[in-house]
Structure 1
Amino acid sequence: MLDMKSHVHDPLDSSLPGAESISGRETGTPGTGVHRDRMATRQFTPGASLILVGIRGSGKRSLGFVAATALKRRFITEDHYFKEVTGLTRQEYLKTRGSQAFQQRDIEVVSLMLETHRTGCVIECGLGSLTRPVQDHLRRIATTNPVVHLVRDIHQIQKLLGLDDQSVRRLQEGDPLHRDCSNFEFYNLEDRTRIVAEDGSPDPQSAAYAFKLQDVKEDFTRFVRFITGPGTDQSSYDSPFVLLETPPEQRPYTHSILVWSSDLRSDRVNLPELESGGDAIELCVDIWEPDLLNTISQQVSTLRRNAQTPIILSVDTASLDAAKGNGSTATYFDVLDHALRLAVEYLVVDLSESRADVTRLIQCRGQTKIIGQHVFAASSRVTWQDEGCITMYRDAEKLGCQLVRLLRVGTSREENSGVHEFANMIRSLPGHHPPLIAYNIGRLGRTSQVFNSILTSVTHPAIVRAAENERDALITSRDAVRALVQSYVLDPLKFCILGANVSYSLSPAMHNAAHRHCGLGHVYTIPESPSLALLDQLRQESSFGGCSVVQPWRVEMYHKLAAKSRHAEAIGAINTVMPLRGTADGVMYPLPEQANRRNQAGPVLGWYGENTDWVGIMTCIARHLSPRNAISAKTTGLIIGAGGMARSAIYAMLRLGCRKIFIYNRTLSRAEEVARHFNSWAAAPQPQSASASAEVVRVLHSLQDDWPDEASAPSIIASCVPADPDGDQPPANFEMPMQWLGSPTGGVVIELSYKPLETPLLKQMRRIRSDNNRPWVLSDGLENVIEQGIAQFELMTGRRAPRRLMSLEVLRNYVGEGGRFDEKTIQARLDGMHS
């Protein structure tokens, strides 16, 4: 049960008694070493309560609700709890009892709140966190619980709260104290407003559409799931083919885009372009200024929002030594400690630093993976064949590093074969050992960079360097992949689409553009005579890479698979078929190896099935579901249709946490069949599920029926019936019964048909929204086509999809009833989906 009030200003001003800041305490600025003495392990028992602290306007109330929703926990606010304990609001208590009594009682209540809710909650600390006793309490709790300091641009806070300059100064003075009593930090970036012209494009991109908190909701959800989730060292994942479920060090030929802090600060990075071209982003800190830690916090949040990939943080020790001299060691570890507070996915640690300091850092890492690094200078006499390289790797392993990165400034091309031999030697060691990143840096080392298997540093066309550095990446991910294809390490493959009506499919344009962008030599086509029998012919082609499957074969093809993901199994339908390869004598590779052999030709021994339709639907729902309609125990979903796409929509809603779903279909028996399938699935024990529900899907029998009294009106609606004619059958022409549209807060309507784009349902919902001013957000079929295609491309190739490019190709190639989109409409839609 979530205890949630609307987002309001704190009722007390920071100048009131009990809310004073504490002067004269250490604040952990770079070089002080304050945090290093109090670091917790950041390993928490499952369900340990998450505590949020920060100054007024930092977003504690809003982000607390986001976190509670994401983690499915109770949300407790300091204001609500104070009234629950005392029977009075804080303002009433202050007015009736006086400031001294209020101060003492407030501290007692906050301490009680923290102590009695150590598990299963998200707790918002209000002004009490600015008092010494509560801060002492928070320091103790930070040894067992995640305590997150929320930071926000002070100018945005001043604008939001309408504060004068003196009040702003008081807030600024108090905020560093939160850093000293917390173990994590999240920089709350402003959301980007999606605004375009009214031109018939989907409603999320219309002029009136401004979706508050959507970006930060996604950012903070990922953040809290990371810091509270299971260890990142887990070796079992739902599917080895899904990029999000397999870390980059477990996939072949992955790349990290190297971004320098100085370039980011000087706006020499085109941030939206970083969405593709790398499997991670490495932020290398090379600026040294008084407000450094806040700068790093902001830059990490900025990169996370734009790239949505894991963050690697490293420090340019050469620039640090030049700037700090004798104080460089203290500053170095302050930056690394701060990176752990930001919960970066990877942290690079110099193996030449103090062993004791490195060990302490590793013990405090939480979910962050430590990359132990050593760079052999050009003047070094150590070669890749020397025992010193093995010793350095072994030392990093003994320290507890999760990965080891050994680099050498290349002085000749011949050294590239030496690093290859060294990497093979490490891989041949018996037992389990940390993954190795090893290559020569500089122009003479580019060959070794291409053939390094994991997390090679690469540059990107979106980055303009102001000055050269010997650590600069000189090749792009596309360069590296092209070189691998030209060296016959990777092979050009053939892909296609199978289905009854695929002549107007947008998949070839979307996939081929992505193949070219990534440097792959693959080709995606529409067969002249698509049929299921064609698969038997394709099985004889060693260069066949996979196919998309659309109606009416999503369910039929499901029964021809040798293996399938648990998602496809739960849905009972697939939309993606991939070859399972093996040796010439017929021995099939295990699934993890199948995933690592994507982009390589070989004998086809069977088929693997996956479903990305549900991923596209889930993405569209999550993108457009407002905070007011956040999924809770009362949330109701409605599915129209009972085919393969309807199954995917039900699964998407279930994955989002909706447990009350109704289905309507003209043929009642088909709706009942789908309901039985999912109710049977839900009744069985599910991974990571505390309980099972026997009935999650119920059937609606008639469009004339009233909405069931026992359920809330639906706030998530997915239409899964074709709006275009299906053979001799007329189009569905479906419109919603008015008695089913009673949600007072509106919701999301996902239309999965896109021929025509403006379906009868979307036209009806626009009229209804205009008439009653209910906040319904509408998503048309093209958006889902794009999202499922992006997921499918990543599944088939194992490469990060260029999302904006694939979206652009779909919009440029779509021909609707009104012809093609003009450039203005295309740009508007792109801004709405990827702003």
Structure 2
Amino acid sequence: MHHPSSPVDKRRKFDPDASLVLVGIRGCGKRSLGFVAATALKRRFITEDHYFKEVTSYTRHEYLKRFGSQEFQKRDIEILKTMLDNHRSGCVIECGLGSLTRPVQEHLRQYSATNPIVYIVRDMDRIQSLLGLEDQSVKLLCEGDPLHRTCSNFEFYNVEDRSSISAVNDEGSPDRRCVDYSFKLKEAKEDFTRFVRFVTGMDVGHTSYDSPFVLLETPPELRSFTHAIFVRSSDLIEGAVKLPELESGGDAIELCVDRWGPEMTPILSKQVSLLRRNARTPIIISIDKSATGIAKGGLSSAEVDDIYVSIAEHALRLAVEYLAVDLGLERPQIREIIRTRGMTKIIGQRIFEPTEPETWESEQCFSLYLEAEKLGCQLVRFLRVATTRDDNAAVAKFTNKVQSLPGEHPPAIAYNIGSLGRTSQVFNSILTSVTHPAIERTRDNVHDPQITSRDAVKALFQSYVLDPLQFFILGGNVAYSLSPAMHNAAFRHCGMSHTYTIPDSPSLAIVDRLGRDSHFGGSSVVQPWRVQLSHKLAAKSRHVEAIGAINTIMPLRARADGTMFPLQEQASRRNQAGPVLGWYGENTDWVGIMTCINHNLSPRNAISPLKTTGLVIGAGGMARAAVYAMLRLGCRKIFIYNRTLSRAESVARHFNSWAASQVELTEVVYVLKSLKDEWPVDVCPPCMIASCVPADPDLDEPPANFEMPMQWLGSPTGGVVLEVRTLGEWQIHVID
């Protein structure tokens, strides 16, 4: 096998605009994923085939036929190198067959010092089926493909898209008559978009101090009482996990690698992709040295550590959000892992067995925390197998000692494991490992969690750490609202003791009464109170500033001395009662609308700032949220229609003024004056439409039986239509 003359650069720190390169064999999905990445990153997409023709005026096949194999291979390598060197920034680059040659792989290894290079992997059986390959061809590809790991610094396993599978005919070709055809690669689009945004740093470093109550914007280590669902690699291999059910029950997923061997490299890559797709939460990778088999083969401790490091290095290639690293490794090994972590956060970890001399009270334990911080760990996790219940009091003292340190320090995760340690697991506030009903593990392991997230949350309420709060819905026509039933079901599912009800005598006067109730938790707000209550706010999020409407108020609580907690601390105390000093206003409608559009918009309609058009019907608070959601998705041409023209013009002025305050934006919202208007000829028909017509509209709104003019439904690639009906809450229906 060919051994590289120079190693791939592992630092994984790049300029924000560094071009992203995709490598892999034919049929792995580079072209489709490259288009997805270019759209997500708002970059130019360059393919090797297109660039070859641009330089030579011949297709690759034409050039091969005209000049012969030897000249073609020489020219192909030259052009591929030139393509890479001339486009080092602002692009997504797809490398073709040239990446299988040694000269190009050597060039890519050097290129990796400044650019992210992603190796795309796919099931070989699927590639063989798609390309109709003979077994001998498959064998050659299987031998050559893994060499891409030697010239790349990231890896993405392209798991089969369920929407793609359903959109093929009996011969395996795309079936355009299939109702799912327009949604082809929808799941892959979402997965790879998140991946490339993380790799390039687009989603890293964003703080939530202006909107601390929005969970989407706050990492789990900055929230209170967060949980990570613990899954072993062997669980996934043995089919012991119902993957779709993992979408709830935790704030993150911890994948513990408990098997290893040469065949496990692609298996681990696939497992991470499967968890990403089903859970859609941050992923932690940890390594169980005692269970992987690497410590049982007569190897020296140094050899075992080397294998451990190789697993950790592969985890970094997968761009997971967190990697737990054993602090028992040699210090140079830990420093190298931290140096090459990229955007992954390193959790310095130590698991203390009962036979080890270190205790929670010992100075060695505290010194190890300080050493982990000095090494550069972003978080520190200490676990100890409990032998008595007194160990739970001891770990609480250790946690208090860490928290009393002056200044900022890495968050500490510290609790006891085993049945006697469950109390400390409940009270640990950051990323406690939990199990899940969807995991049907047959073997017991003392290190594995025994409680679920629901168990832990219920225990926090039963021990009075968290308080049962009262939530409401305020506004007109809320008697038939489904919000109480939905929220109360969610509270029960999560183990919370809160209640959500409709006030007996809804009026603005009730707000003042709620302000005197220390157990008031917050309220949904619907028309016509959104404007009136907005004047009573002590603070509001940047989203409310941009939208100009609220749909949620939350209490801002006071300390014992009567002063108000800072906003970030308010968010961490959201499940605790206390005196109310004021209201915080938030708008979450845009999150639901944005998520729905993003989840259901097909790759064919990937949002482009220059081409994509949106349409919003209505001019109320929900319409404003829809406009904002489309802007956040990257749409820069949004049309709005309302029966009363002046209200539509007011919404347009509001958002165009907001856009002018953003450096890169100008006019973004335009008004359609009449239902009889033809769609403007100089813009594309809308591929996303939000009908924000209330069920009981006032005279200014379009009627509830509003019919969309056919001339506004001319998108040749279809799209998403959201019907947002407001009757105490809103509902979204997706139509293609």
Shared fold per TM-score greater than 0.5:
yes
Looking at structure 2, the residues matched to 756 and 356 of structure 1 have their Cα atoms a distance apart, in angstroms, of: 59
Contact 1:561 1:609 in 2 (8 A): yes
Which position in structure 1 is the counterpart of 2:530?
554
- CA displacement at 1:462 relative to structure 2: 1.1
For 1:732, give the aligned amino acid.
A
Partner of 1:7: none
Query: What does residue range 557-706 of structure 1 map to in structure 2 within 5 Å?
Result: 557-632=533-608, 633-685=610-662, 691-693=664-666, 695-706=667-678
Which of 465, 479, 492 is the matching residue for 2:441? 465
- Unaligned ranges ≥5, structure 1: 1-23, 28-33, 197-205, 758-780, 785-828
Report the Cα distance in structure 1 between the residues aligned to 2:202 and 2:675, rounded to whole angstroms: 45
Report the Cα distance in structure 2 between the residues aligned to 1:239 and 1:556, rounded to whole angstroms.
21
Cα distance in 1, alignment partners of residues 571 and 145 from structure 2: 47
Kept in 2, the 8 Å contact 1:238–1:245? The answer is: no
Matched, 1:110 2:80: yes
Structure 1 counterpart of 2:246: 274
Aligned residue in 2 for 1:43: 13
Q: Deviation per CA, 1:678-729, whole angstroms, max 9, x where unpaired?
A: 01000013xxxx5121x11111111112222222222221111124565999
* TM-superposition CA deviations, 1:244-283 (whole Å, max 9, x none): 2111111111111110111111111111111111111111
Q: Do structure 1's residue 61 and structure 2's residue 31 form an aligned pair? A: yes
Structure 1 length normalisation: TM-score? Answer: 0.83
Counterpart in the other structure of 2:123? 153
SS at match of 1:580: strand
1:282-681 equivalences under 5 Å are 282-320=254-292, 321-326=294-299, 327-632=303-608, 633-681=610-658
Q: Whole-Å Cα distance in 2 between the matches of residues 540 and 236 of structure 1?
A: 28
Q: 1:170 deviation in Å?
A: 1.6
Q: What is the CA distance between 1:557 and its match in structure 2?
A: 2.2
Q: What's the TM-score once normalised by structure 2's chain length?
A: 0.94
Do the aligned residues in 1 keep the contact of 2:659 with 2:665 (CA within 8 Å)? yes
Query: In structure 2, what is the Cα distance between the partners aligned to 1:243 and 1:92?
Result: 54
Are 2:203 and 1:227 equivalent residues in the alignment?
Answer: no
CA distance in 1, matches of 2:65, 2:590: 54
Counterpart of 2:73, as a letter, is Q
SS of corresponding position for 1:318: coil
CA separation in 2, counterparts of 1:236 and 1:209?
A: 37
2:40 to 36, 56, 70: 70
State the secondary structure of the residue aligned to 1:42: coil
697 and 356 in structure 1: CA distance in 2 versus 1, 3 angstrom threshold? same
Q: Tell me the distance in 2 between the aligned counterparts of 1:238 and 1:725.
A: 33
Q: Distance in 2 between matches of 1:322 and 1:444?
A: 28
- 2: distance between equivalents of 1:557 and 1:167? 68
Q: Secondary structure at the match of 1:347?
A: strand
Deviation of the 1:328 alpha carbon: 2.3
1:231 touches 1:367 (CA, 8 Å); kept in 2? no
One-letter amino acid matched to 1:429: L
| Matched AA of 1:504 | Y
Superimposed CA distance per residue, residues 725-745 of structure 1 (whole angstroms, 9 cap, x where no aligned partner)? 659999432112222222222
For residues 237 and 569 of structure 2, what CA distance do their matches in structure 1 show? 41
Instruction: Report the Cα offset of residue 531 of structure 1.
Output: 2.3
For residues 273-329 of structure 1, give each alpha carbon's deviation from its aligned partner in whole angstroms, at most 9, with x where no partner exists.
111111111111111333111110011111111111111101111123444441422
Q: How far did 1:208 drift?
A: 3.0
Paired residues in the alignment total 720
Shift of 1:113: 0.6
The structure-2 alpha-carbon separation of the partners of 1:179 and 1:79, relative to structure 1 and needing over 3 Å to count, comes to: same
C-alpha spacing 1:233/1:318, structure 2 compared with 1 (3 Å): farther
1:126 partnered with 2:126? no
CA RMSD, 1 decimal: 2.3
- Say whether the 8 Å CA contact 2:477–2:727 is kept in structure 1: no
* Secondary structure of residue in 2 paired with 1:259: strand
Structure 2 spans left out of the alignment, 5+ residues: 167-176
**Matches of residues 84-99 of structure 1 in structure 2 within 5 Å?**
84-99=54-69
Secondary structure at the residue paired with 2:415? strand
In structure 2, give the amino acid aligned to 1:691.
E
Q: Distance in 2 between matches of 1:621 and 1:537?
A: 38
| 1:208 counterpart = 2:157 | no
Q: SS where residue 560 of structure 1 aligns?
A: coil
Letter in 2 for 1:783: I
CA contact (8 A) 2:476 2:528 kept: yes
Aligned-partner residue type, residue 513 of structure 2: Q
Residues 318-362 of structure 1 deviation map (CA, whole Å, 9 limit, x = unaligned): 123444441422221111000000011111111111111111111
C-alpha contact 2:612 2:687 (8 A) present in aligned 1: yes
Q: Which secondary structure does the structure 2 equivalent of 1:384 belong to?
A: coil
* Deviations 1:749-782, CA, capped at 9 Å, x for gaps: 111127799xxxxxxxxxxxxxxxxxxxxxxx63
* Aligned-partner Cα distance in 2 for 1:506–1:289: 52
2: CA distance, partners of 1:172 / 1:88: 30
| Inter-partner Cα distance in structure 2 for 1:493 and 1:392 | 40
Asked if 1:173 corresponds to 2:150, the answer is: no
Secondary structure in structure 1 of the residue aligned to 2:17 = coil
Q: Percent identity?
A: 68
Compute the displacement of 1:238 (Å): 4.8
The one-letter code of the counterpart of 1:224 is V
Alpha-carbon distance, 1:161 to partner: 1.4
Q: For residues 637 and 233 of structure 1, do their structure 2 counterparts lie closer, same or farther at Cα, with a shift above 3 Å needed?
A: closer
SS at match of 2:11: coil
Contact 1:195 1:207 in 2 (8 A): no
Is the CA contact (8 Å cut-off) linking 1:263 and 1:466 kept in structure 2? Answer: no
